[in-house]
Amino acid sequence: MILDAALIRRRRAERGLSAREVAKHLGVSGPVVSAIEAGTNHNDVSLAHWLRLAAALEVEPVTLLAPSHPGHQPPTAAPAAAEDDAAVRRLAPRGNERPDASRRPL
């Protein structure tokens, strides 16, 4: 995966974190974080490190992907949330009706 090195550097600075602090959060050495920020070892970034890096920088993981990366897509939470709300309404008990899970067999 190709990460947006400039965004990573900017977010780390905005959060006031040192490379060493980010490295500690990721469980790697400071030079590894420096290489990530330089864009030189993105092929070595595991999924776990990508997720931890996003958490440390307080961003959604997808935002760390470089815009030219084929998997880069802005999050689209609004339609999914609307679908989830509709599903909850369909499954929610109405009136005095109890949910199926709480019904006892006769």
Chain segment 51-102, per-residue pLDDT in tens: 999 999 999 999 998 877 555 555 444 444 555 565 555 555 555 555 555 5
Residue-wise pLDDT tens digits, 19-31: 999 999 999 998 9
Please list, in sequence order, all residues whose beta carbon lies within 8 angstroms of the beta carbon of residue 29, skipping any fewer than 6 positions away. 23
Which of 48, 50, 19 minimizes the C-alpha distance to 35?
19
Q: What is the pTM of this model?
A: 0.61
